[in-house]
Amino acid sequence: ERRAPPEKIAVIGAGIGGTSAAYYLRQKFGKDVKIDVFEKGKVGGRLATLNVRGQEFESGGSVIHPLNLHMKRFVKDLGLSAVQSPSGLMGVYNGETLVYEESSWFIINMIKLIWHYGFQSLRMHMWVEDILDKFMRIYRYQSHDYAFSSVEKLLHSLGGDDYLGLFNRSLLETLQKAGFSEKFLDEIITPVMRVNYGQTTNINGFVGAVSMSCTDPGLWAVKGGNKLVCSRLLQASRSNLVSGLVMSIEEKTRTKQTGNPSKVYEVVYQTGSETHSDFYDIVLVATPLNRKMSNINFLNFDPPIEEFHQHYEPLVTTLIKGELNSFVLSSRPLNKFHLGTILTTDNPDLFINSIGLVSPVEEDSISQPKADLAHVWKIFSAAPLTKKQILKLFVSYDYVVKQSWLAYPHYTPPEKCPSIILHDRLYYLNGIEFAASAMEMSAIAGYNAALLAYHRWNGNTHMIDQEDLYERLKTEL
């Protein structure tokens, strides 16, 4: 006999993790359960846009990989559309000169890469492809409703000890062992880690591979802004959005209408100056549990729910509409400067991680800067840019806007991912960011948490943490 569904579920956070969890919770638990999604800021969280002279530009999560199947499915099912992300030519600046510059001719690029780095670029591509290939197994597991109780078990299910080993070792160690040269690591790999995660090759190998996959062709974004996926998921899940700040969660015993006492969680939250509380059978926390980001108190749990001290990397996105000073980066005037993205090496004198041309969220991509036009450039930096720094990079500018983030975990392998199960019916999604932080990773965590909550509610232990799933599902065909 199937257990009656829960009456009420709370999801804390309306980013892509929380809204995808709400969507899948509705699919699993059915139409009668009441789902409240709490959000202290804007729906979308780290998917957000900034306005530059009347046009919106992505300021947080911006690019999506062509093999990110949950994001792809959301866009299709929620009536949204995709646009190609800018694919301009890329250069690498070391603080003095451009140490690498792409050409618009494929064959020239190949020759340049081989001349500078031998066949390392091709080997790197194959290494990433192999990791992505195994990563795709998660979609098969999830489509068969399997869930995992820890991020480590999820990673292990994708490719065994070697795969989990990627997460436990630094990218540097993994690539050095594989024979990649210092020059290639400094001039190509580190700049890619800096633009994507604001860090060096000291990050774990798995997030390193995810980051390298951003050099694949076919990256895309959601027309109108990636955050639209979150608002549409919320709508489709028929959840109730509560605009408020969750302050604490405590387990309580309550007598329900049936007369039986049952364990529920009391969620205390603030809307404006008022404090409210409500009771839930299941709670999903879909925000980093980090004092600076969410500050949720877990009251009177026995054993106590551990404090989360993981450090998130401060990062500033600055959008500047202006004319780039190409002479800072090269010896060429702007009309002869054809790069759309400039990455940087790990030089402490540099005050930016990257600078790249961007398109408004409503438009298809531009790939080349035009000398006669002021374009919008996106800069990532560890600290806010000063006026002096902006004037060094731009001959002139007419608009600047910035957004500061605690962007992604500071990766220090080997490390342990926080638990997904915090308590009996209390789940945590954002531990997955310690493997890699990306929209698709949060969507996978959202689906996994919904499946885990469903199976644990119904006692379906055979659907959780199953070994050899890949082999078993292969023979099931």
Ligand X SMILES: CC(C)=CCC/C(C)=C/CC/C(C)=C/CSC[C@H](N)C(=O)O
Ligand Y SMILES: Cc1cc2nc3c(=O)[nH]c(=O)nc-3n(C[C@H](O)[C@H](O)[C@H](O)COP(=O)(O)OP(=O)(O)OC[C@H]3O[C@@H](n4cnc5c(N)ncnc54)[C@H](O)[C@@H]3O)c2cc1C
Does 211 help bind ligand X (rule: CB under 6 A)? yes
For residues 403-462, which are near ligand X according to CB under 6 A? 437-438, 440-441
Q: Which is nearer to ligand X, 16 or 242 (CB)?
A: 16
Q: Work out which of 170, 317, 341, 353 binds ligand Y, going by CB under 6 A.
A: 317
Which residue in 164, 212, 241, 246 binds ligand Y (CB under 6 A)? 246
Q: Which of 10, 64, 124, 316 binds ligand X (CB under 6 A)?
A: 64
Any contact of residue 196 with ligand X (CB under 6 A)? Answer: yes
SS (H, E, C) 192-226: HHHHHHCCCCCCEHHHHHHHHHHHCCCCEEECCCC
Please choose which of ligand Y, ligand X, none residue 90 contacts, taking the beta carbon within 5 to 8 angstroms, the exact cut-off set by kind.
none
Contact by Cβ (8 Å): 207, 440: no
Residue of 379, 380, 458 lying closest to 425 (CA atoms): 458
Which residue stretch of 210-218, 257-265, 296-304, 342-350 sits at the interface with ligand X (rule: CB under 6 A)?
210-218
Assess 82 for contact with ligand X (CB under 6 A): no
Given a contact cutoff of 8 angstroms between Cβ atoms, the answer to whether 343 and 74 are in contact is no
Q: How distant, in Å, are the alpha carbons of 106, 174, 188, 213, 352 from that of 126? A: 18, 14, 15, 11, 30
Distance of alpha carbon 435 from alpha carbon 50, whole angstroms: 28
Residue partners of 132: CB distance under 8 A and separation at least 6? 67, 209, 213
- Of the ranges 45-53, 183-191, 208-216, 300-308, which one interacts with ligand X (CB under 6 A)? 208-216
Q: How far is CA 475 from the centre of its chain?
A: 33
CB 109 within 8 A of CB 117: no
Q: Give the shortest CB-209-to-ligand Y separation in angstroms.
A: 14
CA atoms within 13 A on the CB side of 187: 17
**Residue 47 or 99 having the CB closest to ligand Y:** 47
Given the complex with ligand Y, which of 200 and 326 has the nearer CB atom? 200
Residue closer to ligand X by CB (options 210, 246) is 210
- Report if residue 405 touches ligand Y, rule: CB under 6 A: yes
135 binds, among ligand X, ligand Y, none (CB under 5 to 8 A by kind): ligand X
Binding mask 414-433 for ligand Y (x = CB under 6 A): ----------------x---
Closer by beta carbon to ligand X, 18 or else 409: 409
Residue 45 binds to ligand X (criterion: CB under 6 A): no
Query: The tokens of 193 are what?
Result: 């880690």
Does residue 38 interact with ligand Y by CB under 6 A?
yes
How near is the Cβ of 323 to ligand Y at its closest, in Å? 24
User: Rg of the chain's alpha carbons, rounded to an integer?
Assistant: 23
Q: CB within 8 A of 376, min separation 6: which ones?
A: 52, 55, 57, 319, 320, 321, 357, 358, 359, 360
Residue at 8: amino acid letter: K
Q: Select 295 or 367, whichever has its Cβ closest to ligand X.
A: 367
**Binding partner of 69, given ligand X, ligand Y, none, CB within 5-8 angstroms per partner class:** none
Q: Which is nearer to ligand X, 25 or 210 (CB)?
A: 210
C-alpha 194/C-alpha 381 separation (Å) is 9
Residue 344 interface partner, choices ligand X, ligand Y, none, CB cut-off 5-8 Å depending on type: none
d(CA 193, CA 168): 17
If one asks whether residue 354 binds ligand Y (CB under 6 A), the answer comes out as no
68 binds ligand X (CB under 6 A): yes
> Site for ligand X (CB under 6 A): how many residues?
20
Residue 213 interacting partner from ligand Y, ligand X, none (CB closer than 5 to 8 Å by kind): ligand X
Write the interaction track for ligand X spanning residues 359-388; mark x where CB under 6 A is met and - where it is not: -------------------x----------
Given the rule CB under 6 A, which of 60-68, 275-283, 363-371, 421-429 is the region that contacts ligand X? 60-68
C-alpha distances out from residue 209 to 30, 104, 213, 295, 454, Å: 37, 25, 6, 31, 32
Distances (CA, A) of 140 to 147, 432, 475, 477: 11, 18, 13, 12
For residue 274, the cross-strand partners are 271
Binding mask 271-310 for ligand X (x = CB under 6 A): ----------------------------------------
Number of residues near ligand Y (by CB under 6 A): 36
CA dihedral angle for residue 466, residue 468, residue 474, residue 476, rounded to 10 degrees: -50
CA 283 – CA 280 distance, rounded (Å): 7
What lies within 8 Å, CB to CB, of 171 at 6+ separation is: 189, 193, 201, 202, 203, 204, 205, 207, 208, 209
- State in angstroms the smallest separation of the CB of 59 from ligand Y: 7
Which 292-311 positions form the footprint of ligand Y (CB under 6 A)? Answer: 293-294, 296
Interface contacts to ligand Y, rule CB under 6 A: 12-18, 38-41, 45-47, 60-64, 245-246, 286-287, 293-294, 296, 315, 317, 405, 407, 430, 437-440, 442
Interface contacts to ligand X, rule CB under 6 A: 62-65, 68, 132, 135, 195-197, 210-211, 213-214, 356, 378, 437-438, 440-441
